[in-house]
Structure formats: C-alpha cells, structure tokens
Amino acid sequence: MTPSSQALHLKALGARILNEANDLKRTPEALAAELGIESSLVHRVIEGRADLTSALDLLHAMTNKYPISLADIWLDEDDTVDGVKIMSAAETAGSSRVFERRDSHGGKSPYYDYRDTAMSRLAPFKPEWIEELRVVSNDDPDNPDVAYNNGHFLHQTTFFIGPVNFYWDLQGKRHCAEMNTGDSNYITPFVPHSFTSRDPNNLGLIIAITYAGQVGRARRELSAADVDALNAEAGDLRGVNPFLHRLDRHLNAESLSPEELRARLVDAGHNEQSFTEILAGRKEPTYLEIALVADALAVRPQDLVAANMTRGEEVVVKRRDIDLGRNFPDNNNPAYRLVELARTKHQPKLKGFDVTVNGEEGSPFQHSLHEYVYNYGDDEVHLHWHGGHSKTLAPGDSAYIRPMIEHGFARKAKSEAGKLVMIRVPGQLTDDVFDEFAAFEISGRDRVARETRRWF
C-alpha cells in the first residue's frame, strides 16, 4: 500500500459511488439529503478527496437505504506495483506451516510443509509451495501412509519438482502416478487427492495453484438457490447430450415449450422429422441444425453448444518428457522455450507452461489472464513490465502479473537459461465479457474503464 495507490483507490471508489448514484437516478445532492450526510462530504468522497472511513460510511449508508449490494460497489485497493507483485524466496520460507496427517502407525506425523508464494488480492488464485514430508516406498494408491483429502471447491493445477507421488480418487477407485520434475496435473473440484515423496534424501516439492473458476464468482447466487433445482438446470457434462441441457435452460428462460419451438422451426421451413428427433434427444444435432435452433430462439449458436466430458477427464496427468516444447515468439527469435503443462478443454483458459528463458532481452507477453511465475531454476531471471519496471527473480522467488500487463523475462548475461513455472488462469475477463464489451458503442468504451478502474 503506497500513498499513490491509496489515492487511486479513493478516486476509484468515488467514481464507483457516482456510477451507482447515476444508476439509482440520484444526484449527489439527492444522495446527501436522503442519507442525511452533508452535501460537501458527499462531493469530497465522489471526487476521492475524503478519507477511507468517510467513503466506507457513505457506502454503508447507501447499502442500508437502497436495494444494492456492498459486494457490487466495493472495490479492493490495488496491492500491485503497476500490475505486478513479487514475493521473495525468504518471505516464502518465512510463511512455512507444517501440517500433520494420520500415518500407518495410527498416529499423526508431518505430511506437508505449506508456504505462500506471490499472491494478490486482485488475483483469483493462491499459489503455494508445498514440500511432501511423508515418504513412501511404493506406488500403491491404497498405501495406509497416504492421507487423501476430501477434495476442494477450487480447481487445481500442480507443477512437480523432484520425485513426488500423486494420488487421486475417482468414484471410490484410487490411482497413483509417479511424477518427476516438469510433470504437471489438473484436478477437477471435489476430487480427493494427495501427494507424497519417494526419496527421503530428496524430498519432493509441488507448486500448487488452486483457483476459483466461474462457479466461484457465482457463489452468491448459487448459495441462494435450491441445490436440486441447480442440479436439474445444469445437468451433467458426462451425460449423453449436454446440448439438451443448454436448450432446456434457454427454453426455461424464454418460458417456451419444446412443442412451440418445434412449431417455430417447422414454420421457418425446416425438416419436421429431423427436429422432432433432435428435441426428443434421439438425434445429435449438426452444427448447422444448432444454428437453426439458435436462430429460432434469437440466441447465438455458441449459446447452445456444450462439450461432453468423459469419465476420467476429471484428472489430467501430463509428462514433461513427451513434449519437446516450442520456441516463442518463433524459431528465428527463440526468447523462450515453452512446454505446455496439463491442459483440459473444460478449463480452456487454464494455460500452464514450463518456461526456459533463453533470451537476454525478453520478448513481451500480453494476454487477458492472471499470470503467476515461480523461479524453480538455479539462476536469476529478470522480469520487466509495463511502465519501465524491472526486478530480478532469484531462485525461489515468485511473481503475480495482472491481466493485460505487458511483461517479459530475460536471462542474466553469461548465465545459464532461466527456468520458470508459469501458470495463467482466467479471471473475469472471459470471452463473454469481451464479446459484450465489443458490442458497446466505441465512443463510450473509455467510460467503462474510467468509471470503475478495475476493468483494464
């Protein structure tokens, strides 16, 4: 927290309050009169010239008086330096917490050493450095020395360093994979899992990135709804026809019966027999047929497309040695060697890389995802970013980089290539958000950023 970030925060909160007052069709004078607050104080808060306590008092008075949620109007203070936050290896070491789990002797003994790495309150993830303190001598998934958790609400992707066993439990069947440096995984929420070391003289380490996806951000509305109703509305991606669940949600939203939809399609001159079969779930629609249904509902074809999930896809294991990687930006200028970590089509914007930093200049990256890097090599790497900033990432240091911030990495002159784990996860800048934004009047778009300051 710096004086300038505090000033920016107060300005952003003031703009947000003005924005909300506009939506409520209240002028600052009307706000002041209705809330019993002095008009000059309301103006000072809106202009970002009052202190945080005054701004909070005004926000609370507004949420008491009007049907608005504090969660919708509160903005967190930016804890980054122009979009980047770094944590040193020493700070990481200082956050060590050892957790015990039951063992085969019936008692409890050390299992994990958990340490924080770079985290920001603006980021959707909490990346952790976890040393596996329990050592096993086999790959038996039912080993009584292995303590499974109950799975968790967050998605997880893991980067492995050293000899680590990865265990997971799918519908009561347990699995074990022997992992080594550079291997990676993806774990779907609520799949129980565990990690152990294989070598007492070389304890294994994982960099575990857990993150809340779209469901995490919808938790307020999800928790207010009936779980059976939610289940029925969602269906199961492992079911035979996720298209029908998408269609059902659109029919519910439109309060339209399948018969009425079929009649619309027939009226538009389409094949009755074919659409009868499709709407009854007896025939898989082609993309063209999906587009015709979408037209009849005044929605986009992609609104009716969902990808099936097959059993077993809940956990992905990726081996480092099956992939040589690729040069970035290209073979003529191989600033980085990128090896893709575990991918799943069900989290399309989860992009992990094992990065070898070859260049001494650092070719730029820029994208709409939250990025995390951890230096797992033996050499320093330079991180430079937007605004002319640059910092050295020593071995064990980590960094968070906000979406849309241009940044790059360079190896130190005359030293070996740098080694980074890089994990990108989506925040709220989803394709739906970009498509909606892309439809806005171009002349008004800069007001979106100006009035909230959180978008870009």
By the criterion CB under 5 A, which residues form the site for Fe ion?
A: 156
Residue closer to Fe ion, measured from CB, 143 or 156: 156
* Cβ neighbours of 297 (radius 10 Å): 17
Nearest partner of 19 among 60, 62, 50, 53, judged by Cα? 62
Buried (b) or exposed (e) across 312-323, using 16+ Cβ within 10 A?
ebbbbbbebeee
What's the closest the beta carbon of residue 189 comes to Fe ion, in angstroms?
10
Give the nearest distance from C-beta 172 to Fe ion in angstroms. Answer: 19
Shortest distance, position 156 Cβ to Fe ion, whole Å:
5
The least distance separating Fe ion from the CB of residue 152, rounded to whole angstroms, comes to 6
Is the CB of 149 or the CB of 366 nearer to Fe ion?
149
Q: Please, which residue, 92 or 156, has the CB nearer to Fe ion?
A: 156
Q: Which is nearer to Fe ion, 41 or 177 (CB)?
A: 177
Q: Which is nearer to Fe ion, 155 or 411 (CB)?
A: 155
Report the residue closest to Fe ion, judged by CB: 156
- What's the closest the beta carbon of residue 350 comes to Fe ion, in angstroms? 15
Q: How many CB atoms neighbour CB 87 within 10 A?
A: 23
- Cα separation, 270 vs 272, whole angstroms: 6
- Choice between 123 and 209, CB closer to Fe ion: 209
Q: How far is the CB of 165 from Fe ion (least distance, A)?
A: 14
- Residue 206 or residue 338: which is nearer to Fe ion going by CB? 206
Q: Which is nearer to Fe ion, 126 or 283 (CB)?
A: 126
* Whether the Cβ atoms of residue 379 and residue 395 lie closer than 8 Å to each other: yes
Q: Report helix, strand or coil for 397.
A: coil
The continuous run of DSSP H or E covering 248 comes out as helix 242-254
Query: Which of 299, 309, 342, 23 has the alpha carbon at shortest distance from 160?
Result: 342
CA dihedral 55, 59, 64, 70 (to 10 degrees): -150
Task: Fill in the amino acid letter for 445.
Answer: R
Separation between Cα atoms, residue 127 and residue 64, nearest integer Å: 36
Helix and strand totals (H; E) in the chain: 15, 20
Q: Which is nearer to Fe ion, 66 or 148 (CB)?
A: 148
Pick the closer one to Fe ion by CB: 210 or 356: 210
- Alpha-carbon distance values, 28 to 39, 378, 450 (Å): 7, 57, 18
Inter-residue contact 180 to 320 (CB < 8 Å):
yes
| Strand ordering across the sheet containing 370-375 | 84-87, 398-401, 370-375, 418-425, 351-357, 333-340, 326-330
Identify residue 254 by its one-letter amino acid code: E
| Least spacing, CB of residue 193 vs Fe ion, in Å | 6
Q: How many CB atoms lie within 10 A of CB 50?
A: 20
Q: To the nearest whole angstrom, how small is the minimum distance from the Cβ of residue 168 to Fe ion?
A: 10
Least Å from the CB of residue 188 to Fe ion = 11
Let me know: does 232 contact 295? Beta carbons within 8 Å: no
Are residues 211 and 124 in contact, defined by beta-carbon separation less than 8 angstroms? yes
What's the min distance (Å) between Cβ of 311 and Fe ion? 21
Question: Are 135 and 104 within 8 A, CB to CB?
Answer: no
